[in-house]
Amino acid sequence: MEHLRTDRAPLPLSCYSQAVKTGDFVFVSGQVPLNPETGKVVEGGIEAQTRQALDNVKAIVEAAGSSIDKLVKVTVYLKSIGDFRKMNDTYCTYFKKKPPARTTVQAQLPMPELLIEIDATACLT
């Protein structure tokens, strides 16, 4: 088992790994819309936050030797289920051919300015 870390995504703020690689899979911890260069939550509403969270997931799976095209399962946590349509429209631009399995739930997120958090599992083969 390998614990992964890349500067292309926000570094953990607590006791967790960005991702863990084991067997044929990489398990990505929940990614919030923090810009890894500034350490700040991106502005621009749910669309911008969805893009940043997915870009963070993408950077981590690429650092693990996989790609966003090899995601097999994604969980999206929304602060407000009212943002579902806008999140989904943005999310779909990342998965044009074969989207991964996905669950979307409304959740209380750890910082008031966060609108979304996304975790994922990718295949390495």
pLDDT number for residue 13: 78
Q: Is residue 28 within 8 Å of residue 57, measured between CB atoms?
A: yes
Q: Is the pTM of this model over 0.75?
A: yes
Q: How far is CA 89 from CA 57, 84, 85, 92, in A?
A: 18, 9, 6, 5
Would you say residue 30 has pLDDT above 90? yes
Percentage of residues in the chain with pLDDT exceeding 90? 88
Q: Is residue 77 within 8 Å of residue 30, measured between CB atoms?
A: yes
Counted domains in the chain: 1
Q: Is residue 54 within 8 Å of residue 76, measured between CB atoms?
A: no
**pLDDT of 32-89, one tens digit each?**
999 999 999 999 999 999 999 999 999 999 999 999 999 999 999 999 999 999 999 9
CATH classification at residue 79: 3.30.1330.40
pLDDT number for residue 110: 92
Q: Which domain holds residue 59?
A: 2-123
- Exposed, middle or buried, 73 (CB in 10 Å: 0-12/13-18/19+)? middle
Would you say residue 101 has pLDDT above 90? yes
Would you say residue 102 has pLDDT above 90? yes
pLDDT number for residue 15: 86
